[in-house]
Structure 1
């Protein structure tokens, strides 16, 4: 994801899940959806990915209708197919067979003119895990402040 800036990031995913692995996938989109994503009008917060009949389907991702669109505009929340190689899908399917793992979209960005989504195999965090990660982040901030003041 270093080649281009993200159109949208799912910051809530990093708070609610422990990300085990990351993958890059293409998205099967309609024309007005691409334009809306370029405008940054996409919400990944409640999104998730399911493995259905050997295909990865991204669900609950909200892409606002294109402002200059017409009656052919897309529906806001629809299932979108993710484009990956069969080997990668099989590898992900094998890892999902373990209990407690899910796939969440982490970011959407453009790479060489194509819309890409960064997905992560994730495990849900418990409340005490979330508090622990917040404490670690606060300690790192304090250390950074201390180093700056020296």
Structure 2
């Protein structure tokens, strides 16, 4: 990162928003990287790292892939143009990937979950989508127990 990026607090590369709970609630089968259509102030606000994906989901509308319920707060940098904070945003994927996603939704009853939003090397905003199956309550308990055991095991090995 350059000095200017550090001073202004903007994210030029790296993760802008993450959906951490998605990996707990869903079993991620595969991931796809998609572009996202944003307006100028939305990009600026996203670069500030204030967006949230906790309640967001992706789905089909009119044969296209969209991201629903993602929250991007309004940019407070003196820009007069306003935008809807929870607007429906179009995702850009190749036709083959789009057909794969739509097939997974229709046939196999899977869910498309946004995992994170990041900026690539060229500075473009990208969304990592996970094709996922929902976990049952017992699966979540088992994952929590395994995580606790790994933490305890690491603690025991450190104390030796």
Q: TM-score, normalised by structure 2?
A: 0.86
Q: Is the 8 A contact 2:41 2:79 kept in 1?
A: no
The answer to whether the aligner puts 1:144 opposite 2:128 as a matched pair is no
The unaligned stretches of length 5 or more in structure 2 are 1-12
The answer to whether the aligner puts 1:33 opposite 2:42 as a matched pair is yes
CA distance in 2, matches of 1:53, 1:146: 55
The answer to whether the aligner puts 1:9 opposite 2:18 as a matched pair is yes
CA distance in 1, matches of 2:58, 2:89: 9
For the structure 1 residues 145 and 43, does the alpha-carbon distance in structure 2 shift closer, same or farther, using more than 3 Å as the test?
A: same
Which structure carries more strand by proportion? 1
For the structure 1 residues 125 and 72, does the alpha-carbon distance in structure 2 shift closer, same or farther, using more than 3 Å as the test?
A: same
Aligned residues: 147
**Counterpart among 49, 52, 70 of residue 43 in structure 1:** 52
CA offset digits 1:33-79 (Å, max 9, x no partner) = 00011001101000000112221100000000001143312110100
Larger radius of gyration: 2
Matches within 5 A, 1:1-150: 4-111=13-120, 112-150=122-160
Query: What RMSD over aligned residues (CA atoms) do the two structures have, in Å?
Result: 1.3
